Structure 1
Amino acid sequence: MHAIRLHAFGPAQNLRYEEVPGPVPGEGQVRIDVRASGVHLIETTLRRGLPVGPHEPPALPVIPGAEVAGVVGAVGPGVSGDWLGRRVVAQLELGGGYAEQAVATVDSLHRIPDHLDDGTAVAVITTGSTAQGILAVAQLTPHDVVLVMSAAGGLGSLFMQEARHAGAVAVGVAGGPAKAERVRELGADVAVDYREADWPARVRKALDGRDVSVVLDGVGGRLGRQALELLGPGGRFLLHGWAAGEPTEITTRDLVERQLTATWAIGPNMIPAGGPRELAARALDEAAAGRLVPLITRFPLERAADAHAALEARETEGKVVLTV
């Protein structure tokens, strides 16, 4: 089979398309003939040899990738033959997703609804389930004015859709005029380009006296701080990452003087919404029903290096998916 392997930490060009032996499923495992593989932003950092939170750089050489969709082509000992030929999507415990074949535990499998394509399934298995958990923490209402950072990204585009479903005023912040236009297509009441220095003033003008009541921030840094400054008294600030390289700076004074609340919205705070498997199943159901429609930027498997480079340059929209 063909796969993408990393032999040395460094730039995206270190990802090599190679022919390697196919994996053999062990006890309790299946082999998935991969049709689509998800690319996650943290994989670009691990590729450079840097840790990301609890994730340490892998031992080399390695086939990256933790999200795959495809067809079960073989089963290991202890696995029912009923799985053979079924379309499934899975989160891989040990990586290996950037490949034509991958091994997953049977307990990690979700069946893909017949009318859902593989790219959409892999786009929502992790990103969609994370969005479901964060939105459960956010508890959006029709009275909210919701500002979404990186609103054309994988999570951000889903947040924009949910803000509209909740009847809230949706404000999308994205990088570049093309992405701002895509955010408008998602139904944003206000869409601005954060590359324009006066973007906060543009938001205030467009809201015409209304305060932002909720910020969903996965960007951090200076942009996250600018979003925080747009929150009105009693506003809620939910963090879920820092793509800018550092978290948004929030002080106790911010919370006390403006009666704000700030929440790290992933991890234990998502538990009341359900465990990872329940959230993933919910995301697949929402996608199958057409209520959750992920934006997807697709690359063929052999162009995984280009996919990483584009993701790092913020040239992609929504979830990046490798097609096989």
Structure 2
Amino acid sequence: MKSVLCREFGPPSSLVVSEVDEPVPGAGEVLVHVEACGVNFPDTLMIQGKYQQKPAMPFAPGGEVCGTVAALGEGVPGPAIGTRVAALIPYGGFAEAVAVEAGRLVPVPEGVAPDAAAAVCAAYGTVLHALEDRGSLKPGETLLVLGAAGGVGMAAIQIGKLLGARVIAAASSAEKLEACRAAGADGLVDYTRDGWRDQLRELTGARGPDVVFDPVGGPYAEPALRSIGWRGRYLVVGFAAGEIPRIALNLALLKNCAIIGVFYGEFVRREPENNRAMLARLFQWVAEGRLVPALSHRFPLERAGEALELLINRRAVGKLLLVTHAGDGPPR
């Protein structure tokens, strides 16, 4: 089978596509023939040795997959061979097959395409956990999304609207902001321009947002926190800007606000049943047509490096996928 391998830490161009033996599922594992795999920012960090998890070499990146059950390991009663499933895994998804712990699998209902299922797990799972479980976002509240044109940001716009919030999208170009508008954002700010806080103040009637969703960090975090409303909740999701901000805690005191960490990967590990229920809910929204994942483009395995470069250079608008079925083009 084909697998995209990281043989040494380095840029996406150092990845190689190799023919390797198909894995044999061990006790408690299921072999999944991968149809689609999400491409995420942690993948870019893992291949450079900058992520907290450093797998033994060589390894395939890729942490969210959708595919069909091909074989069951010892002690695994199901799902039945041929069942379509999705899963969040530590790594290994950039391949035609992967062995997955049975407890990580979530059945994919009829009406949900492999591309959509693969796109939902990490980004939309992170967002729903952040906004509902950690941020207690309520209908009628205002949500500010930083990095709103990326895969996680687009998901935050969509989930925020589904939860009944008014959503303000912050991104770095007119093209990206227009994509955010198309995804459902009610207000737009270019946070690379001077005076963006004044624009945010105007959009919120001087109240400030109730919840800030921040997967970016860097120089945008402090201005966003200074702009938050009374009793606001600031969700620390990630640091795509590359810099972990150092926040003066008096800002939290002055706004009587909460700074809340969102570590979705650890939530998945510690609360697997809650996560599976949450993913099943997301899949149901997709099946019902209430949620259409913001998919940007799909690439064959051979172009994994190109997909990761798009993320690193911040040229992706929406979610990127690797697929094992033929062709490259718009998502299905």
Give yes or no for TM over 0.5. yes
1:212 aligns with 2:209: yes
- Aligned pair 1:304/2:304, yes or no? yes
Contact 2:128 2:159 in 1 (8 A): no
**Aligned twin of 2:281:** 282
- 2:159 aligns with 162
- The 5 A counterparts of 1:148-187 are 148-187=145-184
C-alpha displacement of 1:15? 0.9
Helix, strand or coil for the counterpart of 1:179?
Answer: helix
After superposition, the C-alpha distances for 1:149-191 in whole angstroms (9 at most, x for unaligned) are 1112222222212332343321001122211001111221211
Q: Which residue identity lines up with residue 290 of structure 2 in the other structure?
A: R
Alpha-carbon deviation of 1:41? 0.9
8 Å Cα contact 1:125-1:284 kept in structure 2? no
| Residue pair 2:212, 2:228 contacting (<8 A) in 1 also | yes
Cross-structure match for 2:64: 67
Distance 1:81 1:22, change over 3 A: same
Hey, what does 2:8 align to over in structure 1? Answer: 8
The alpha carbon displacement at 1:28 in A equals 2.6
Q: Is the 8 A contact 1:35 1:70 kept in 2?
A: yes
Matched position secondary structure for 2:216: coil
- Output aligned runs, 1:164-313, within 5 Å: 164-266=161-263, 275-297=274-296, 298-313=298-313
Counterpart AA for 1:293: V
Alpha-carbon contact 2:226-2:251 (below 8 Å) kept = no
What is the number of equivalent residue pairs in this alignment? 320
Q: Which amino acid aligns with 2:234?
A: F
How far apart are the structure 2 equivalents of 1:186 and 1:226? Answer: 25
Distance 1:186 1:129 in 2: 18
For structure 1, list consecutive stretches of 5 or more residues without a partner in the other structure. none
Q: SS in structure 1 opposite 2:260?
A: strand
Q: Over residues 79-115 of structure 1, what are the superposed CA-to-partner deviations in whole Å (9 max), with x where a residue is unaligned?
A: 347611111112235x321011111122222111111
Contact 1:124 1:283 in 2 (8 A): yes
Give the partner amino acid of 2:19: E
- Summarize the Cα distance change of 1:109–1:303 in structure 2 as closer, same or farther, 3 Å threshold: same
Give matches, 1:112-123, under 5 Å. 112-123=108-119
Q: Does residue 30 in structure 1 map to residue 30 in structure 2?
A: yes
Partner Cα separation in structure 2 for residue 245 and residue 119 of structure 1: 29
Give the distance between the partners of 1:206 and 1:127, measured in 2 at CA: 26
Contact map agreement 1:219 1:247 (CA 8 A) in 2: no
Structure 1 pair 82–166 and aligned structure 2 pair: CA distance change class (3 A): closer
Aligned to 1:92: 89
In the alignment, residue 58 of structure 2 is paired with which amino acid? P
* Local SS of the residue matching 1:238: strand
1:311 Cα offset (Å): 0.5
Question: Which amino acid in the other structure matches residue 101 of structure 1?
Answer: A
Amino acid of the residue matched to residue 227 of structure 2? L
Describe the SS at the equivalent of 1:200.
helix
Question: Helix, strand or coil for the counterpart of 1:126?
Answer: helix
Q: What is the distance in 2 between the residues matched to 1:231 and 1:92?
A: 34
8 Å CA contact 1:133, 1:274 repeated in 2? no
Q: Deviations over 1:275-323 (max 9, x none)?
A: 3322222222232223333212322211000011101111112332111
Aligned-partner SS, 1:125: helix
Matched to 2:122, the amino acid is T
Task: Give me the whole-angstrom Cα distance separating, in 1, the residues matched to 2:129 and 2:224.
Answer: 22
State TM-score, norm by structure 1: 0.90
Amino acid in the other structure paired with 1:46: M
Partner Cα distance (1:24, 1:275) in 2 = 28
Retained in 2: the 8 A contact 1:172–1:188? yes
- Deviation of 1:269 after TM superposition, in Å, equals 8.3
* Same amino acid, percent of matched pairs: 35
Using the TM superposition, name which of 174-183 and 151-160 deviates more.
151-160
Tell me the TM-score normalised to structure 2 length: 0.88
User: Is residue 320 from structure 1 mapped to residue 320 from structure 2 by the alignment?
Assistant: yes
